[in-house]
Amino acid sequence: MNLKTQIAEQLPAWRARLKRLITEYGQVKVADINIAQILGGIRDVKALVTDISCVDPNRGIRLRGYTIPELIDLLPKRPGDQMPFLGGLYYLLLVGRIPTYEEGMEIEEEWKKRQEVPGYVYDVVQAMPKNTSAMTLFSLAILAMQRESHFTKEYDRGLKKEDYWIPTLEDSLDLTAKAPAIAAFIYNYKFRNGQIVKPRADLDWAANFGTMIGIENEQYYELARLYFIIHSDHESGNVSAHTTYLVSSTLSDVYYAVSAGLNGLAGPLHGRANQEAMEWLLDVYQKYQGVPSKEQLTEYAWDTLGAGKVIPGYGHAILRITDPRFTAQLEFGERVMPDYDLFRLAKLVYEVVPEVLRQQGKAKDPWPNVDAISGVLQRYYGVMDSKDNDPGGFYTVLFGVSRILGVTANTVWARALGAPIERPKSVTTRTLENIVTEQTGVEIPLHESYAHERGCR
Ligand code: CMX
């Protein structure tokens, strides 16, 4: 396989590069960390390395150095398509350079060979009540497939450390190949007729997801390609990426690691925000029986904040601009659904909410993130997140299908470069207080309600 050779050829130089950094420059300091950062979600602490993607706070995501417009422009496309096929993106993430059409298609072909989902995975999903959250079903289905892992089988037989990445790549190709079919089945099980729909031989990976949920529409295929490109990776510190990386650092295989990462993606402050943003828009739409005026929307936004809730789809831990992943979706919407009410509403929210958040003065980033509009585009084509009394969660599964591309690419490289088990040091609160005393001379008295504390030093 060209892909494997392309990675293997890079490894000697990469390993030498890292070895040099550790042995010759290992003592060079990268970052200081203060108490506010330790107690504030480890924000802005440069403590992780990935070469798959990086997020510039003022420019947004770059996948292997390419912005989203550059990716759409440069990645190979099938004849007649406007959006690149995902095999090309996965090649880029794994190999680090834009592939030729043939190289990208080689991945699409690999995916076709590996796309059949084992029957017991469908059984696992079907054993669960239909109103189980779609993310729970997705994570369960992936965990159920752990028995397929090439890495774990070969590790058990005895595998050299420098070869760990080879069966990890096999697992990654298997898992990414099957992910759209599993997600589509979960959708069909929860919201449609429960059928297992076979992918079409003439379609690419992303478009086939549409087919398998019953949407045979060229425009939706283009949206699926765009959606799966922009959600694939967002450097290493976000919860889904970091959880996958952390679990994988124990040499758990990609099934264990990705399932864990998806459980993090399921949280409302992360991937579930796409579902919550849709719900927020629908609540507004219902309350005002249509797209409200700017004044009404401003009032609604303040009411949300007044109730102690966040406005989903806005704000970001790293970004300080409108997320380019939002912009790419906004532009898609402008082209194909400018008059769709929910799209008009999402645009109005973009006009109103940043100013409201700025006036409130809490959020460091008042701008929309990827989740603010993604549900609207899906809903336009009839893709639902939930139905009746079902808590749904399907939009986050869509996010997950794409995110698997980035986190598995990271896992392959972590294995190839011999990344060690992650194990940061924790301290007690009293240790932090003692450090304050050491550095400032100020004694922080131990309040009587903590008098039982033994501490660690
Ligand atoms: N609405 C209301 N308040 C917000 C806000 C929003 N959209 N975004 C941030 N804030 C608040 C925070 O809750 C925090 O309040 P407290 O001081 O009372 O705790 C304050 O502003 C400061 O937060 P921050 O430093 O700007 O943001 P964080 O790095 O802590 O959190 C994020 C980032 C994304 C969790 C936050 O902006 C948020 O909750 N947004 C809404 C949920 C969302 O869209 N998440 C999806 C992010 C993208 C993704 O991962 O998919």
- Report whether residue 371 contacts ligand 1, using a CB cutoff of 6 Å: yes
Same domain, residue pair 282 and 235: no
Residues 202 and 109: their CA atoms lie apart, in Å, by: 11
Domain annotation covers residue 236: yes
Please give the structure tokens belonging to residue 245: 């990386």
- Report whether residue 270 contacts ligand 1, using a CB cutoff of 6 Å: yes
Please give the structure tokens belonging to residue 322: 């409108």
Domain annotation covers residue 300: yes
The rounded mean pLDDT for the chain is 96
The per-residue pLDDT for 137 is 98
pLDDT in tens, 76-118: 999 999 999 999 999 999 999 999 999 999 999 999 999 999 9
Same domain, residue pair 248 and 213: yes
Same domain, residue pair 266 and 358: no
Nearest residue to 232 (alpha-carbon basis) of 57, 11, 66: 66
Q: Which residue has the higher pLDDT, 358 or 386?
A: 358
Which residue in the list 233, 253, 365, 371 is annotated as catalytic? Answer: 371
Strand partners, 62: 54
316 is catalytic: yes
The per-residue pLDDT for 449 is 80
The per-residue pLDDT for 446 is 84
Residues 406 and 90: their CA atoms lie apart, in Å, by: 8
Q: How far, in Å, from the CA of 443 to the mean position of ligand 1?
A: 34
pLDDT in tens, 266-304: 999 999 999 999 999 999 999 999 999 999 999 999 999
* HSE (side-chain half, CA atoms, 13 Å) at 110: 23
Domain annotation covers residue 8: no
The per-residue pLDDT for 100 is 97
Query: Which residues neighbour 389 within 8 Å (Cβ) at sequence distance 6 or greater?
Result: 131
Give the CATH number, domain containing residue 266. 1.10.580.10
**Measured from the CA of 318, which atom of ligand 1 is nearest?**
29
Nearest residue CA, atom 1 of ligand 1? Answer: 310
Q: How far, in Å, from the CA of 368 to the mean position of ligand 1?
A: 11
Strand partners, 140: none
Please report which confidence band the pLDDT of residue 457 belongs to, taking 50, 70 and 90 as the band edges: low
Same domain, residue pair 215 and 352: no
Best substitution site from 362, 365, 397, 403 to test ligand 1's pocket, by max atoms within 8 Å of Cβ? 362
Q: How far, in Å, from the CA of 307 to the mean position of ligand 1?
A: 15
Q: Which residue has the tokens 């507004």?
A: 284
| 422 within 8 A of 185, measured Cβ to Cβ | no
Q: Which residue has the tokens 């478009």?
A: 207
The per-residue pLDDT for 388 is 67
Is the pLDDT at 455 greater than 90? The verdict is: no
Is the pLDDT at 7 greater than 80? The verdict is: yes
Number of domains in the chain: 2
State percent of the chain over pLDDT 70. 99
Rounded to two decimals, what is the model's pTM?
Answer: 0.96
Same domain, residue pair 259 and 299: no
| 437 within 8 A of 444, measured Cβ to Cβ | yes
Please give the structure tokens belonging to residue 372: 């603010």
Domain annotation covers residue 423: no
Please report which confidence band the pLDDT of residue 436 belongs to, taking 50, 70 and 90 as the band edges: very high
Same domain, residue pair 55 and 161: yes
The per-residue pLDDT for 312 is 96
Nearest residue CA, atom 40 of ligand 1? Answer: 315
Residue 6 exposed, middle or buried by CB count within 10 Å (0-12, 13-18, 19+): middle
Same domain, residue pair 365 and 286: yes
Report CA torsion sign: 231, 233, 239, 243: positive
Which residue in the list 150, 253, 270, 365 is annotated as catalytic? Answer: 270
Residues 456 and 119: their CA atoms lie apart, in Å, by: 51
Same domain, residue pair 243 and 143: yes
Same domain, residue pair 91 and 232: yes
Nearest residue CA, atom 50 of ligand 1? Answer: 270
Residues 415 and 426: their CA atoms lie apart, in Å, by: 25
123 is catalytic: no
Same domain, residue pair 128 and 219: yes
Residues 280 and 286: their CA atoms lie apart, in Å, by: 10
Nearest residue to 282 (alpha-carbon basis) of 349, 367, 338: 349
Nearest residue to 53 (alpha-carbon basis) of 278, 264, 235, 298: 235
Residues 55 and 311: their CA atoms lie apart, in Å, by: 22
Residue type, 365: D
Domain annotation covers residue 322: no
The per-residue pLDDT for 445 is 87
pLDDT in tens, 337-350: 999 999 999 999 99
Best substitution site from 227, 302, 364, 396 to test ligand 1's pocket, by max atoms within 8 Å of Cβ? 364
Residues 130 and 120: their CA atoms lie apart, in Å, by: 17
Nearest residue CA, atom 19 of ligand 1? Answer: 362
Is the pLDDT at 392 greater than 90? The verdict is: no
**Measured from the CA of 314, which atom of ligand 1 is nearest?**
7
Q: How far, in Å, from the CA of 315 to the mean position of ligand 1?
A: 5
Please give the structure tokens belonging to residue 244: 């996958």
Nearest residue CA, atom 23 of ligand 1? Answer: 363
| 190 within 8 A of 394, measured Cβ to Cβ | yes
**Mean pLDDT value of segment 203-227:** 97
The per-residue pLDDT for 201 is 96
385 is catalytic: no
Nearest residue to 261 (alpha-carbon basis) of 302, 232, 289, 287: 232
Domain annotation covers residue 77: yes
Give the CATH number, domain containing residue 346. 1.10.230.10
Same domain, residue pair 354 and 218: no
Radius of gyration of the chain (CA): 23
Segments forming the whole domain that contains residue 281: 276-317+335-380
Report CA torsion sign: 189, 224, 114, 403: negative
Give the number of other Cβ atoms within 10 Å of residue 160's Cβ: 8
Domain annotation covers residue 283: yes
SS3 116: coil
Q: How far, in Å, from the CA of 268 to the mean position of ligand 1?
A: 10
Is the pLDDT at 355 greater than 80? The verdict is: yes
Is the pLDDT at 386 greater than 90? The verdict is: no
Strand partners, 60: 56
Domain annotation covers residue 88: yes
The per-residue pLDDT for 57 is 96
**Mean pLDDT value of segment 120-130:** 97
| 134 within 8 A of 400, measured Cβ to Cβ | no
Same domain, residue pair 178 and 57: yes
- Report whether residue 363 contacts ligand 1, using a CB cutoff of 6 Å: yes
Which residue in the list 231, 242, 316, 390 is annotated as catalytic? Answer: 316
Residues 274 and 399: their CA atoms lie apart, in Å, by: 9
